[in-house]
Amino acid sequence: MNRRILAFTLLAVVTAFMWSDTVIEWWQSTIEFFLRVNEGVTESVLDSRPGNDVDLHVLVWAATSLVFVWAFRAKWWAVLVALFFWSALVETLQPAFTEIRSRQLADYVGNAIGVAVVALLFALIGRSRSVNQPSSPAR
């Protein structure tokens, strides 16, 4: 399958996921599962997480950003900027598609952090590659 088709398919799934009423229930069930399994290990970490689902937003948009960078290698910076604006649009339109979810500043911030982490990662990788490339001999 073409990488770009895969990326846009993932974006459609993520958008539907963010507009779904079940996303909150699914995420809370996942957190509760990890609190029950190995409670002594996970309790302190999971109890210190934000009370809302901002961590889910970071995770989802970082993963989506990674797929888009993989699909659009040469134009990764522009693609991540567009993805950031798409994530903001998804949050803005969320109340039109779900009864229990609403616009929250923390969700916008989580989306931005997810995309920004990937942008920073690839900016650092690009910088590292340019620094480590041998320079051409001076003439």
- Tokens for 53, please give them: 């689902």
Query: Per residue in 97-111, pLDDT tens?
Result: 877 777 889 999 999
Average pLDDT over the chain, rounded to an integer: 84
pTM: 0.78
Q: What is the model's pLDDT at position 87?
A: 95
The domain segmentation of the chain, as residue ranges, is 3-132
- pLDDT confidence of 138, banded at 50, 70, 90? low
78-81, long-range: CB < 8 A, 24+ apart: 80/115, 80/118, 80/119
Q: Is the pLDDT of residue 137 over 70?
A: no
Q: Which pair of structure tokens corresponds to residue 68?
A: 């888009």
Q: Nearest CA to 115 among 73, 61, 67?
A: 61
pLDDT mean over 58-82: 93
